[in-house]
Amino acid sequence: MTTLMPSTQISFDEAGFKTVLETRTEPSWLTELRQEAWKTFNELQWPNNRQEEWMRTDIRMFKLDKFALKSDSSSVGLPELVLSDGVDLAGSVSSLDSQAGSAAELAAEYQEKGVIFGTISDLIGQHGDLIKKYLFQAVDFKTDRFAALHAAMFTNSVFLYVPRNVVLDKPVHISSQLTDGGSDLRHTLIVIEEGAEATVLAESNSAAESNGFHCGAIELFVGDRANLRYVNLQDWGQKVWHFAHQKAIVGRDSNLQWTVGALGSKLAKVNQHVALRGDRANVQVNGAIFTENRQHLSYHTLQHHENPDCTSDFLYKSALQDNSRTVWRGMIEVDKVAQRTDGYQRNDNLILSDQARADSIPGLEIEADDVRCTHGSTSGRVDEELIFYAQCRGFTRKEAVRAVVTGFFQQVFDRITIESVREALALAIARRVRDYV
């Protein structure tokens, strides 16, 4: 567990890394993993726009030495959390600047069924072998320098384990918040064993003008015949740099519904990968992105079909106003053995200003010969006739634009089966819409 003294800040350098090792009580295998990741971090260079994956995302203004891990933060002035509002939860866990917030909670009835939920720091002493089996087995920390930094210095991370055939019939809530100048290196590890079910609501936010740095990872393991609904709402302040590697591994006859809401950050670069590893695995991913001012949000998705008879359905919708920009790069990859694949991906963009820009790059890599794979992308402006029609019926122009934007996202909202999530996401987007010029 972490033993940082009050007012301590840990920099992202050699001295800071040594402090992380010295102030944590962890098994030797995790220390060795951190050391290997730190070595990888020092060997790699920062990504640059000469690399295809980064050619549309410029991070030259990002300076790591401006950030540090803080331990003396206060939650005063931070926005309210929205996904858990009015929801009957099975448990919750929170963090502030990647340090522990309120203590992790899990209802006794689920603890008695063998469900494990809390921070990795608190659980690794008792459940080290189980955590070792899955930690960094989906996300590869050698992918780039951000992934290596995360693996070397991740703190206050979350572990959820639902044992075989156990149904976690109430959601658990995971939250992370940043103060001005704070850093967040949370790792989320979720394991749903064979025949089990769970719903996870995860959200992150900070004050609108807060500066900050997020470098995180999400690993989801969905066992055979298991079901997982995972909701991830990102609403950082518009001066936060947001980098993340996220991957799900989905087993035979299992179902994953992954909903993404991306509203915040100055610049975001997220890799969201799904591996359909078992026969007849089924994955649905729903993405809603809204950008304003000079935000730049880049999401790269991969649907990797590794076995036969699997289905993947990715739908991302983006609305952009002011001078903002989105980049969506989607790939369906089908291995030679993955016959009878059904893969779908779509990205639609609604442009709300002359200066906004949306880049969409869908792609297919198919080695099997018995597949059905489709992809597509659209970009367009708001139809002035729709606005005029609404105004003729008493709407102000702003109300009319909000109605049009809400209608644009409705297809995504309709796919979200959790009412509180659907309402929270719709309201958060509606609040950001300004008059369409």
Tell me: the pLDDT tens digits for 389-427?
888 888 888 888 888 888 899 999 999 888 888 888 888
Residue with tokens 């469900």: 115
The per-residue pLDDT for 147 is 98
The per-residue pLDDT for 8 is 72
Question: How high is the mean pLDDT of the chain?
Answer: 92
C-alpha closest to that of 152 among 248, 250, 69: 69
In angstroms, the Cα distances linking 190 to 162, 228, 269, 295 are 8, 10, 22, 30
pLDDT > 90: what percent of the chain?
76
> pLDDT for 285-316, tens place per residue?
999 999 999 999 999 999 999 999 999 999 99
pLDDT > 70: what percent of the chain?
97
Report the alpha-carbon distance of residue 267 to residue 272 in Å, rounded: 16
* Of 82-86, 247-251, 433-437, the least confident: 433-437
Q: Is the pLDDT of residue 434 over 90?
A: no
What is the average per-residue pLDDT within 23-40?
A: 95
Sign of the torsion formed by the C-alpha atoms of 48, 54, 59 and 60: positive
The per-residue pLDDT for 7 is 46
> pLDDT for 338-356, tens place per residue?
999 999 999 999 999 999 9
The per-residue pLDDT for 2 is 44
Q: Is the pLDDT of residue 119 over 90?
A: yes
CB 231 within 8 A of CB 262: no
Q: Which residues 6+ apart lie within 8 Å of 62 measured at CB?
A: 46, 241, 267
Cut 0.85: pTM above it: yes
The per-residue pLDDT for 436 is 54
The per-residue pLDDT for 5 is 40
Report the alpha-carbon distance of residue 75 to residue 81 in Å, rounded: 12
Report the alpha-carbon distance of residue 93 to residue 107 in Å, rounded: 12
Residue 57: pLDDT band with limits 50, 70, 90: very high
The per-residue pLDDT for 244 is 98
